[in-house]
Structure 1
Amino acid sequence: MAKNSSSSTAVPDTVWLGRGRHLGPEAERDVRRNLLALEAAGVIDGFLDLDPVEAARSSDLFPRDASADPGPLARRLFEARWRVAGGVTVRAQLTTYEAESRRGEGEGVLWVLAAEAERAWEAEWPSPATVFWPDSEQVAWDHERVPGVRLRRTNHLPKDDGEMRRLLRECARRSWSIHVVVHEAMTPDARGRRPVTAFLPPSLRHRVVEHRATPEQALTAGFALTRELGVGLPRGGAVVLPTAPGMPGYDAERFTVRDVFLDGTQPAELLGKITEFAALPRPLPAGAEEVLTRLRQGWHLLTPDEELLHARAMVTSYARALEAMTASCDLYREAAESALAALAEATGGNGAARVPAPAAAGQDTSALKSLTKTLALFRRPNR
């Protein structure tokens, strides 16, 4: 995959980012089927299914640099374009990767997704995840990079204190998602076991991971959160976890809810805290900057009008480059002619330098000065 690096640059408000693992047998087939169905239904304008090597290849009309290369582990690259809010265009890329290590079983196929709209992203817009992946429980595309964690389900914290702390630490450091921990004050029924994230707006739903602490885990979960992330967990309440690196504007008390009733009704206060947290400026997580650059600079799915504009821009660029080269050649030729003339004057036309007689040593040396000045032209970078 792309190199693992972090950036202090904030995620643009026009961008939606996601990352996870698909544990099914044929990840790319699931993506193709979903894109074909949405294109046939008119939900998306179009899509491309690309070989990563071909996607990164440069040409005269489409010059691409190293930022367009998704890396040696890339399996497939998909692009899709659709419109929201009456005409706002969204462009998105999803890239699938081989597992980084073959030592562990069940790692599945890794995927990263970046989408960008023509204006600030709105939570009510369709989730880019369900443009590429089917929104079905039968397709297990929603596994987090952190093992044992899923996006569309409630995730109960491990019973072992050490495992719990390790999980929370990994979620803060490795995940691109927003993580929420909810304490069950009493064991909920079937309605209360429904994920709180199901009530979130579509574009936010697949960016949030919900963890549950059982009634007896009140102390251990609170201790683990305080020790690892510096936040508390009220009994029967919830807290939106901070990210690593930290976010400006985050305050644990601000994103803590004292009471969450897990009875199947909409927990308005907690949903409001999650939405507020998602609106904060957030540093680009590790690896996201390369994904966003590839979306912007390695885009292939152009409309006919966009292709025409691109071709015209390239013609203009090449014309300017040719004009600059011609001007440079003219200047070089003029300098060369001046140098030859000065050399002829300095040598008397026979190639041998004329040595002035002692009596004439103090006389005019304008020919040598002219030659020196002319040759200096060749040492200037802009010549």
Structure 2
Amino acid sequence: MLTSLTARSMTPDTVWLARGRHAQGSAEDVLRRSLQQRKDSQAIDDFLELPEDATASAERVFEARWRAGDDVTVRARLSVKPGADGGDGQEWMLVAEAEQPWNHAWPSPTGLFWPQEPDTAWDRDAATHLILGEINPLPQDDKETRRLLRNTVRGGWHIHVVVHEAMTTDDRGRTPVARWLPPGLRHRVVEHHAAPQQLRGLNWALRDSGVQVPRGGAVVLPGAPAPDGYDAQDFSVRAVFLDGSEPADLVDAVTRFAALPRPLPDDAEDALTALRENWHLLTLREELERQRGLVAMYAEALEAMTKSRDLYREAAESAHEALAAYQEAAEAAPARPQPSGPPAPSPLQQLTRTFERFKVKRPATAAGDEETAGRHVTSEQ
């Protein structure tokens, strides 16, 4: 089973996450039209598109809020940016958080942001471009299948289901499992189908994941990183009847898997932080509470500055008082008695005077020597 060596924060039970790719056209225009339609029909309370200077230059952000269930407020943030492959598509990331633990019977946040018409192209997996909530046939080549499954499960954004078709199916058997799931799970599932002859190659491709697909059955892949409490036997379905009837066992397996505690997917922590700390779509009441909070914060800061100023002033006054007391004490002290007579010369002064006497005597001695020498010369003559 694939595991991650990096410790990750767990996904809060109030949070709903999704990620995908808009294949063609301007995703911003599609989102504006769709959100306005949702607001007009009162499916959402309001939405806001952040100005370009409030976000990164290559990212556009939309916020929306609505009420779900028993008047539970949901706030959601969807960001759009150019695709990593440099093509025409745009990648999107959606983070929603409710005031209570998330109920998958609530409407899908993805379905409230994006239009549900069949000709829209927003429902693609960002890494593999597979269609979310629809059936995706596996490649015929076993190595391609292995590479595809390893790449799709990384990141932890989607729930991946692999179904083996025991025999060739008709149109009734082409109904994706997402049609039977609660609304909150329909846009989080990527369903892979293997043809009858692909079972051996499929299980070979899945051996690193630690799971196997029964003949004519299905399995919910653990993903990377795997959620806590995952056991391959608990999420393996022995038989899936592809006759158009509800695959109850598979629906139950997917629903139970979605309820497991899961680490936050790649890049989701930053998106969740942005939703919580950089929220702009405020109601009048929330804006009033926010302004009151700012006033209280500024009042505390002003009080701290005033207290600091008072302490500084008290310290300065205490220093001036201490200096004045010192000066008064110095003036009141008796004067020291002055010594009588000239002060005794210091040793340095005595040495200096000795050298000065030596300099004065030295020329006189030299003149006397010259006079004596002249007398000797005269007498010899």
Q: Which residue of 2 aligns with 1:73?
A: 58
Q: Which residue of 1 aligns with 2:23?
A: 23
Compute the displacement of 1:101 (Å): 3.7
Q: Which residue of 1 aligns with 2:14?
A: 14
Q: Does residue 168 of structure 2 align to residue 183 of structure 1?
A: no
TM-score (norm 2): 0.82
Q: Residues 340 and 19 from structure 1, CA distance in 2 versus in 1: closer, same or farther, beyond 3 angstroms?
A: same
User: Take 1:38 and 1:229, find their aligned partners in 2: how far apart are those partners?
Assistant: 41
Return the match for 2:308 from 328, 335, 352. 328
User: Take 1:346 and 1:256, find their aligned partners in 2: how far apart are those partners?
Assistant: 91
Compute the displacement of 1:79 (Å): 0.8
Q: Residues 214 and 335 from structure 1, CA distance in 2 versus in 1: closer, same or farther, beyond 3 angstroms?
A: same
User: Take 1:338 and 1:262, find their aligned partners in 2: how far apart are those partners?
Assistant: 91
1:298-319 deviation line (CA, Å, top 9, x unaligned)? 1111111111111111111111
Compute the displacement of 1:87 (Å): 1.0
Return the match for 1:167 from 148, 162, 166. 148
Where do residues 55-74 of structure 1 align in structure 2 (5 Å cutoff)? 56=55, 71-74=56-59
Q: Which residue of 1 aligns with 2:221?
A: 241
Q: Which residue of 1 aligns with 2:81?
A: 97
1:313-369 deviation line (CA, Å, top 9, x unaligned)? 11111111111111011111212222343345557799xxx9xx9xxxxxxxxxxxx
Largest Rg, 1 or 2: 2
Return the match for 1:125 from 98, 102, 106. 106
Compute the displacement of 1:132 (Å): 0.7
| Stretch moving more, 327-336 or 252-261 | 327-336
Where do residues 37-52 of structure 1 align in structure 2 (5 Å cutoff)? 37-52=37-52
Where do residues 250-329 of structure 1 align in structure 2 (5 Å cutoff)? 250-329=230-309
Q: Percent identity between the aligned chains?
A: 53
User: Take 1:346 and 1:180, find their aligned partners in 2: how far apart are those partners?
Assistant: 88
The answer (yes or no) to whether the contact 2:11–2:261 under 8 Å persists in 1 is: yes
Instruction: Specify the SS of the correspondent of 2:232.
Output: coil
Letter in 2 for 1:293: T
Letter in 2 for 1:236: G
User: Take 1:339 and 1:284, find their aligned partners in 2: how far apart are those partners?
Assistant: 59
For structure 1, the residue ranges without an aligned partner over 5 or more in a row are 57-70, 358-383
For structure 2, the residue ranges without an aligned partner over 5 or more in a row are 337-381
Compute the displacement of 1:197 (Å): 1.4
Q: Which residue of 2 aligns with 1:85?
A: 69
The answer (yes or no) to whether the contact 1:48–1:80 under 8 Å persists in 2 is: yes
Instruction: Specify the SS of the correspondent of 1:210.
Output: strand
Cα RMSD (Å) = 2.0
Q: Residues 79 and 148 from structure 1, CA distance in 2 versus in 1: closer, same or farther, beyond 3 angstroms?
A: closer
Q: Say which structure is richer in helix.
A: 2
User: Take 1:246 and 1:85, find their aligned partners in 2: how far apart are those partners?
Assistant: 30
Q: Which residue of 1 aligns with 2:137?
A: 156
The answer (yes or no) to whether the contact 1:239–1:256 under 8 Å persists in 2 is: yes
Instruction: Specify the SS of the correspondent of 1:253.
Output: helix
Letter in 1 for 2:266: A
The answer (yes or no) to whether the contact 1:6–1:285 under 8 Å persists in 2 is: no
Q: Which residue of 2 aligns with 1:68?
A: none
User: Take 1:202 and 1:215, find their aligned partners in 2: how far apart are those partners?
Assistant: 30
- State the structure with bigger RCO (CA 8 A, min sep 6), 1 or 2: 1
Compute the displacement of 1:252 (Å): 0.6
Q: Residues 331 and 272 from structure 1, CA distance in 2 versus in 1: closer, same or farther, beyond 3 angstroms?
A: same
Q: Residues 238 and 324 from structure 1, CA distance in 2 versus in 1: closer, same or farther, beyond 3 angstroms?
A: same
Letter in 2 for 1:73: A
Return the match for 1:338 from 312, 318, 321. 318
Instruction: Specify the SS of the correspondent of 1:80.
Output: strand
Q: Which runs of at least 4 in structure 1 moved beyond 6 Å after TM superposition?
A: 347-350
TM-score (norm 1): 0.82
Q: Which residue of 2 aligns with 1:205?
A: 186
